[in-house]
Structure 1
Amino acid sequence: MDQITVYEKPTCTTCRNLFVLLKEEGIDFEKVDYHVLGLQAEEVRDILAKTGLSARDVLRKREPVYKELDLGGRDLSEDELVDLMVEHPALMERPIVIKGDRGVLARPIEKVRELF
């Protein structure tokens, strides 16, 4: 069976709720606190490819850095947005769950069931 990886922030309520759901379902998973560990651009691109989402799709618009960088008013390329997520991990939405070559942005958390 494919390893399940959850890209998360431990203080995120949605992440904590997802963990409860996964444990109730008896599903083992690995947590990656990308806010602490960071991600390389290749990792972000891989996550996006597996979820089928664009960098703009996973931007956290309520983060202060989103407003500070005026990301809503700028026309940035996919590569530029990925580079900003690497520099500012808080810009990437969470939790993102990867299983094998597929993934979902687990918002709402029940979306994780698409992987099972």
Structure 2
Amino acid sequence: MGNKVTIIEYPKCSTCKAAIKSLKAKGNEVTTRDIVNDTPTAKELKELLEISGMDIKKLFNTSGEVYRELGLKDKLASMSEKEKLNLLSQHGMLIKRPIVTDGKQVTVGYKEDLYEQAWGGHE
């Protein structure tokens, strides 16, 4: 039996679809959340960072259109964590996806070996 996980994803994203398929194949009970229509709040994003221990920069979709449009490559370094969290919570497409959590651990992005380690093989 797998975990009960929530995946914060973009329904049209092929990587997100592959991630959901992988999670289900590993026996996880998956709840989906649309990253655009139900964007995580700054508080939720901060909690995800605290659980994961990762740097906030890992939450940014640096290859996305919004990231480029806002010129964030040059601006992020001078922004506070609070400013970054607020920005992410206002623009769902700025957030690297998919984000998966069970409340105890968090993964960002999709790599099969990472998913195997985090979300698979817990029979």
- Category of TM-score, reference length = shorter chain: 0.7 to 0.9
Aligned length: 116
What is the match of residue 42 of structure 1?
43
In structure 2, C-alpha distance between the alignment counterparts of 1:14 and 1:45, rounded to whole Å? 24
Q: Deviations over 1:61-99 (max 9, x none)?
A: 122221222111012121111110111111100011102
Structure 2: distance between partners of 1:56 and 1:31: 23
CA-based RMSD of the aligned residues comes to: 1.7
Unpaired runs of 5+ residues, structure 2, are: none
Preserved contact between residue 7 and residue 31 of structure 1 (Cα < 8 Å): yes
C-alpha displacement of 1:52: 1.8
- 1:1-116 correspondence runs (5 A): 3-74=4-75, 75-116=78-119
Taking only the aligned residue pairs, the percentage that are identical comes to 26
Which letter maps to 1:114?
Answer: Q
TM-score by length of 2: 0.83
What's the secondary structure of 1:72's corresponding residue? helix
Ranges of 4+ aligned residues in structure 1 off by more than 6 Å: none
- Per-residue deviation at 1:24? 1.8
Equivalent residue letter for 1:59: F
Letter of the structure 2 residue corresponding to residue 30 of structure 1: T
For the 8 Å contact 1:2–1:100, the answer to whether it is kept is: no
Paired AA for residue 58 in structure 1: L
Distance in 1 (alpha carbons) for counterparts of 2:89 and 2:7: 17
Rate the CA distance shift 1:103–1:47 in 2: closer, same or farther, 3 A.
same
Q: TM-score, normalised by structure 1?
A: 0.88
SS at match of 1:61: coil
